[in-house]
Amino acid sequence: MATVSVSDESFEADVIGSSKPVLVDFWASWCAPCKAIAPSLEEISNELGEEITIAKINIDDNPLTPSKFGVRGIPTMMIFKDGKVVSTQVGAMAKNRIDGWIKDSI
């Protein structure tokens, strides 16, 4: 399963209302660390797609959601479970660290 794009308009339905955990990657096209972790998130999405949804939200195109959740730097990744943030990581990480963080959080 590939990563999915979410927006300010779809966030409530796609993330808060999801029946399974969702990792949300807050990113921007000009952010080099965001680009660096993108391939890892795609791979993790393909590997763990049954267990967790990997969603991406562009902060430039969708400013309301990052503001609502206090995103101050990117990349910021948040894991939502049952509509609530259960874990947050800020900054780029290696794929194995992201994978371990997800498994510890869900």
pLDDT for the residue numbered 14: 97
Confidence class of residue 33 from pLDDT cuts 50, 70 and 90? very high
Residue 34 has pLDDT above 80, yes or no: yes
Strand order in the sheet with 76-81: 4-5, 53-58, 22-27, 76-81, 84-90
- In angstroms, rounded to a whole number, what is the distance separating the alpha carbons of residues 46 and 25? 16
| Domains present along the chain, CATH in parentheses | 4-105 (3.40.30.10)
pLDDT for the residue numbered 71: 97
- Active-site residue, from 15, 22, 23, 34: 34
- Active-site residue, from 31, 44, 57, 71: 31
Is-catalytic flag, 31?
yes
**Residue 85: which of 65, 100, 99 has the closest Cα?**
65
pLDDT per residue as tens digits for the range 70-97: 999 999 999 999 999 999 999 999 999 9
- In angstroms, rounded to a whole number, what is the distance separating the alpha carbons of residues 29 and 49? 24
Confidence class of residue 69 from pLDDT cuts 50, 70 and 90? very high
